[in-house]
């Protein structure tokens, strides 16, 4: 019985040791999750490009290039639309607006040159979505509401609409 | 000592360690995970409530400001009241965007806030231009005040429900399929949806001199002239366009989609003979068969091997071959390993800024990577540009005396309400900075000031 008690104490000490390292995975996760901005400081619209490229990477990975530009253009179209927030960050971080923000993939994606180029083209005015303010993937869209939108075009796996 | 002996002799000890580990780690894991999640949820809840309370304050302030705007007799003072209302509405719009309700139930409310602010701003501009507010302007202010007061009351009620029933706003944000809402929180969500619906039904369209006015939002493209083209004709137009750059190559065209939207168009993919993949995507308008946009799909510039000047020439060559008229380069900007070049139409030596086309050129291969004419096709039309009443010298005199004038030319500039004004574009320097000042060629009024930022990669105007 005495041994059992000693065992308990040793066990608790071990638990204490584990507890002290508990926030380690959080710290590691954070280091992985917080992305760094590459590119030159002072480059115009750098923050907007960073955000849009990230959303394109998260939402349109594997899509044809014009489909990636179209996804970026939807973000720009929302910024210019009175029914949505008036800034790029307002649109991207609007609660419940984009799946990658909800599931966190926005902070984990691997942004490539193409995603950045798509973001810049959309900011410069290219719009293969022809003014769309919504896009969705018919195969995975869960909301029935989304199908009440008027469809404008389809590119790759995505449907674009207003 | 055998391992087995060790286990038998220390059985109780090991049992104790094991038990402590299982229970201890279990408790630790649960509390840690919970407390972390709990702290995060509280932080989120705080930001939601912050947005909600700010929104209440915004609507209350707007109510008061719109009231004052009707009472005041001083135009100068009214400018301050109206710009404050604009600012208040923009903050309200921002706070709406931070509410945990998703955009579906908030779209009309958002639009209302945006238009309200935009409308107030346009009135302040009017007063600043020494114009008087019309009777219908006053009527609209009155209607908007009634509407803002209703919104304020509705929001108050919803806040009341949330407070009485202890509803955390964060619980409204969970996707519905994941967690069924309780009847009380459902009432809050529905309350917002009802408000949105009421605004959709009750508030009439707003037409005024601002970028969010309904007549601007619902504009039809003016430059889409000519007959409807068939799919086959559109494909031929696409091939012809790409052959301007690569005359020798053979292309196979495929129409992937019929698009509607602001410019109804055929989406066309071009595949070069002998290539495995499509290398160019284009949009060809159904009316008139105009090229709306073009994107190269394969080019991925890795380094800069071509000078910006060479790239600008390539872009200019393409624009000259378009047959849309005479264009003048109005700016360029190199980002990454490509450069985007902007051109505006030139008519009778007047720069027509609204009629713009853009070209991107790779600084790696020197090839054209993109073309866009959406702006041109939206605004281009046959215009009757009036003769300027002011002379060039008179325009020079209108400009701030500290500005060292470098040059003056005539330009047609777009205003946010879709109006176009003929102006003298006066280019001048103040210290190291370059500015464009636009003097209305009829009235002599200053319409706009732009700061030009020059870098080695190009220019941009603010």
Query: Which pLDDT value is given to residue B24?
Result: 87
* Average pLDDT over every residue of A57-82: 94
Query: Which pLDDT value is given to residue A38?
Result: 43
Band (A44; pLDDT cuts 50, 70, 90): very low
% of chain B at pLDDT higher than 90: 55
Query: Which pLDDT value is given to residue A42?
Result: 40
SS3 B36: helix
Q: Taking CB atoms and an 8 Å limit, are A97 and B14 in contact across chains?
A: no
Quick check: B20 pLDDT over 50? yes
**Which chain B residues are within 8 Å of A94, Cβ to Cβ?**
97-98, 103
Neighbouring-strand partners of residue B404: B429
Please give the DSSP secondary-structure letter assigned to residue B383.
-
Judging by beta carbons within 10 Å of its beta carbon (0-12, 13-18, 19+), is residue B223 exposed, middle or buried?
buried
Q: Taking CB atoms and an 8 Å limit, are A162 and B24 in contact across chains?
A: no
The H helix count followed by the E strand count for chain B is 11, 13
Compute the nearest-CA separation of B20 from chain A (Å): 5
SS3 A136: strand
Q: How many CB pairs under 8 A join A and B?
A: 179
| B3 or B19: which leads in pLDDT | B19
Give residues with Cβ within 8 angstroms of B352, minimum separation 6: B344, B345, B346, B383, B411, B412
Chain B interface test: which of A30, A71, A83 (most B C-beta within 10 Å): A83
Query: Which pLDDT value is given to residue A39?
Result: 41
Q: Is the dihedral of CA B28, B32, B38, B41 positive or negative?
A: negative
| B103 or B32: which leads in pLDDT | B32
Any chain A CB within 8 A of the CB of B259? Answer: yes
Could you report the per-residue pLDDT of A126-136, keeping only the tens digit for each?
A: 999 999 999 99
Say what the alpha-carbon torsion angle B313, A70, B344, B261 is, to the nearest 10 degrees: 140
Band (A22; pLDDT cuts 50, 70, 90): low
The mean pLDDT value of chain B amounts to 89
DSSP string of B201-246?
Answer: HHSPP--SSSTTSHHHHTPPPS---S-B--HHHHHHHHHHHHHTT-
Neighbours of B384 (CB within 10 A): 4
Query: Which pLDDT value is given to residue B181?
Result: 62
The mean pLDDT value of chain A amounts to 83
CB B450, CB B424: distance < 8 Å = no
Could you report the per-residue pLDDT of B245-281, keeping only the tens digit for each?
A: 888 888 999 999 999 989 999 999 999 988 888 899 9
Q: Taking CB atoms and an 8 Å limit, are B101 and A102 in contact across chains?
A: no
Q: Taking CB atoms and an 8 Å limit, are A65 and B10 in contact across chains?
A: no
DSSP string of B292-314?
Answer: EEEEESS----S--S-HHHHHHH
Quick check: A32 pLDDT over 60? no
Could you report the per-residue pLDDT of A98-135, keeping only the tens digit for each?
A: 889 888 899 989 999 999 999 999 999 999 999 999 99
Band (A70; pLDDT cuts 50, 70, 90): very high
Neighbours of B332 (CB within 10 A): 22
Query: Which pLDDT value is given to residue A24?
Result: 53
Q: How many residues appear in chain B?
A: 462
Work out whether strand B265-272 and strand B433-440 pair parallel, antiparallel, or are unpaired.
unpaired
Compute the nearest-CA separation of B388 from chain A (Å): 32
Q: Taking CB atoms and an 8 Å limit, are A4 and B283 in contact across chains?
A: no
Neighbouring-strand partners of residue B281: B269, B295
Q: Which chain B residue lies closest to A133 (C-alpha atoms)? A: B261
% of chain A at pLDDT higher than 70: 85
Quick check: B101 pLDDT over 90? no
Could you report the per-residue pLDDT of B153-171, keeping only the tens digit for each?
A: 999 988 888 888 888 888 7
Among the listed ranges B18-22, B326-330, B352-356, B369-373, which one has the minimum average pLDDT value? B18-22
CB A7, CB B15: distance < 8 Å = yes
Please give the DSSP secondary-structure letter assigned to residue A36.
P
Work out whether strand B291-296 and strand B327-335 pair parallel, antiparallel, or are unpaired.
unpaired
% of chain A at pLDDT higher than 90: 47
Any chain A CB within 8 A of the CB of B218? Answer: no
Using CA atoms, how far apart are residues B119 and B132, in angstroms rounded to an integer? 15
CB nearest to B16's CB, from A6, A22, A114 = A6
Any chain A CB within 8 A of the CB of B287? Answer: no
Work out whether strand B350-362 and strand B404-414 pair parallel, antiparallel, or are unpaired.
parallel
Q: Which chain A residue lies closest to B103 (C-alpha atoms)? A: A97
Quick check: B317 pLDDT over 90? yes
Any chain A CB within 8 A of the CB of B26? Answer: no
Residue A153 phi, psi dihedral angles, 5° rounding = -160, 170
Give the E-state strand segments of chain A in sequence order: 134-136, 151-155, 158-161
Q: Which chain A residue lies closest to B90 (C-alpha atoms)? A: A86
Query: Which pLDDT value is given to residue A21?
Result: 67
Using CA atoms, how far apart are residues B422 and B281, in angstroms rounded to an integer? 37
Give the E-state strand segments of B336-373 in sequence order: 338-347, 350-362, 368-372
Q: Taking CB atoms and an 8 Å limit, are A86 and B90 in contact across chains?
A: yes
Compute the nearest-CA separation of B134 from chain A (Å): 25
Q: Is B234 left (phi over 0), alpha (psi -120 to 50) or beta?
A: alpha
* Average pLDDT over every residue of A81-105: 88
Band (A36; pLDDT cuts 50, 70, 90): very low
CB nearest to B94's CB, from A85, A95, A126 = A85
Q: Which chain B residue lies closest to A146 (C-alpha atoms)? A: B104
* Average pLDDT over every residue of B51-69: 93
Using CA atoms, how far apart are residues B400 and B335, in angstroms rounded to an integer? 34
Any chain A CB within 8 A of the CB of B267? Answer: yes
Compute the nearest-CA separation of A150 from chain B (Å): 9
Compute the nearest-CA separation of B266 from chain A (Å): 10
* Average pLDDT over every residue of B116-145: 92
Neighbours of B84 (CB within 10 A): 18
Q: Minimal CA–CA distance to A67: which of B13, B39, B198, B295? A: B295
Chain A interface test: which of B9, B11, B13 (most A C-beta within 10 Å): B13
Please give the DSSP secondary-structure letter assigned to residue B287.
B
CB B391, CB B445: distance < 8 Å = no
The pair of three-digit structure tokens given for residue B396, joined into one six-digit string:
């020079």
Please give the DSSP secondary-structure letter assigned to residue B382.
-
Query: Which pLDDT value is given to residue B143?
Result: 92
Q: Minimal CA–CA distance to B217: which of B87, B378, B325, B74? A: B378
Q: Taking CB atoms and an 8 Å limit, are A14 and B17 in contact across chains?
A: yes
Using CA atoms, how far apart are residues B414 and B418, in angstroms rounded to an integer? 6
Q: Taking CB atoms and an 8 Å limit, are B257 and A154 in contact across chains?
A: yes
**Which chain A residues are within 8 Å of B264, Cβ to Cβ?**
130
Neighbours of B391 (CB within 10 A): 11
**Which chain A residues are within 8 Å of B111, Cβ to Cβ?**
82-83
Query: Which pLDDT value is given to residue B103?
Result: 66
CB B355, CB B375: distance < 8 Å = yes
Compute the nearest-CA separation of B203 from chain A (Å): 14
Neighbouring-strand partners of residue B266: B258, B284
Compute the nearest-CA separation of B115 from chain A (Å): 7
Any chain A CB within 8 A of the CB of B34? Answer: no
Q: How many residues appear in chain A?
A: 162
């Amino acid at each position: 019985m005495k041994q059992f008690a000693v065992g308990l104490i040793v066990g608790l000490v071990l638990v204490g040791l584990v507890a002290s390292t508990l926030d380690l995975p959080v710290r590691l996760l954070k280091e992985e999750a917080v992305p760094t901005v590459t590119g030159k400081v002072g480059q115009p619209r750098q923050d907007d490009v960073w955000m849009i490229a990230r959303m394109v990477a998260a939402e349109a990975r594997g899509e044809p290039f014009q489909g990636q530009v179209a996804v970026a253009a939807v973000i720009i179209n929302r910024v210019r639309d009175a029914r949505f927030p008036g800034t790029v960050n307002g649109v991207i971080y609007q609660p419940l607006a984009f799946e990658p923000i909800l599931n966190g993939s926005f902070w984990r994606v691997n942004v490539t040159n193409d995603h950045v180029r798509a973001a810049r083209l959309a900011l410069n005015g290219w719009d293969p979505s022809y003014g769309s303010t919504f896009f969705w993937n018919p195969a995975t869209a869960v909301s029935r509401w989304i199908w009440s939108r008027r469809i404008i075009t389809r590119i790759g796996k995505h449907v674009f609409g207003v | 000592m055998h391992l087995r002996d060790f286990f038998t002799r220390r059985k109780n000890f090991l049992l104790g360690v094991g038990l402590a580990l299982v229970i201890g780690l279990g408790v630790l894991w649960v509390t840690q995970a919970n407390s972390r999640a709990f702290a995060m949820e509280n932080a989120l809840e705080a930001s939601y409530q912050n947005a909600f309370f700010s929104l209440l304050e915004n609507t209350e302030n707007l109510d008061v400001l719109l009231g004052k705007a009707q009472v005041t007799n001083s135009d100068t003072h009214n400018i301050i009241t109206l710009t404050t209302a604009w600012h208040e509405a923009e903050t309200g719009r921002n706070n709406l965007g931070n509410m945990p309700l998703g955009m579906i139930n908030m779209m009309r409310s958002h639009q209302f806030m945006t238009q309200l602010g935009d409308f107030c701003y346009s009135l302040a501009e009017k007063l600043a231009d020494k114009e008087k507010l019309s009777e219908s302007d006053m009527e609209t202010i009155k209607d908007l005040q009634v509407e803002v007061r209703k919104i304020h009351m509705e929001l108050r009620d919803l806040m009341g429900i949330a407070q009485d029933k202890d509803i955390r706003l964060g619980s409204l944000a969970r996707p519905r399929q994941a967690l069924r809402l309780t009847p009380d929180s459902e009432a809050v969500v529905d309350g917002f949806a009802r408000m949105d619906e009421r605004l959709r039904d009750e508030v009439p369209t707003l037409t005024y001199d601002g970028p969010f006015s309904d007549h601007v939002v619902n504009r039809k493209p003016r430059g889409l002239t000519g007959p409807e083209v068939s799919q086959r004709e559109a494909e031929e137009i696409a091939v012809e366009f790409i052959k301007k750059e690569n005359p020798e190559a053979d292309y196979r065209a495929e129409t992937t989609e019929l698009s509607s939207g602001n410019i109804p168009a055929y989406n066309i993919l071009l595949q070069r003979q002998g290539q495995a993949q499509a290398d160019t995507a284009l949009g060809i308008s159904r009316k008139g068969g105009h090229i709306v946009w073009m994107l190269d799909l394969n080019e991925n510039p890795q380094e800069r091997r071509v000078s910006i000047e060479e790239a600008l020439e390539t872009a200019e060559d393409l624009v000259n071959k378009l047959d849309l008229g005479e264009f003048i380069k109005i700016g360029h900007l190199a980002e990454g390993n490509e450069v985007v070049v902007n051109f505006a139409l030139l008519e009778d030596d007047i720069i027509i800024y609204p009629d713009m086309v853009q070209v991107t050129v790779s600084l790696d291969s020197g090839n054209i990577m993109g073309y866009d004419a959406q702006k041109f096709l939206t605004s281009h039309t046959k215009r009757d540009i009036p003769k300027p009443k002011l002379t060039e010298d008179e325009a020079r005199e209108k400009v701030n005396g500290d500005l060292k004038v470098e040059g003056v030319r005539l330009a047609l500039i777009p205003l946010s309400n879709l109006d176009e004004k003929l102006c003298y574009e006066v280019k001048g320097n103040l210290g190291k900075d370059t500015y464009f000042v636009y003097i209305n060629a009829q009235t002599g009024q200053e319409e706009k000031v732009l700061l030009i930022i020059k870098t080695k990669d190009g220019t941009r105007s603010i």
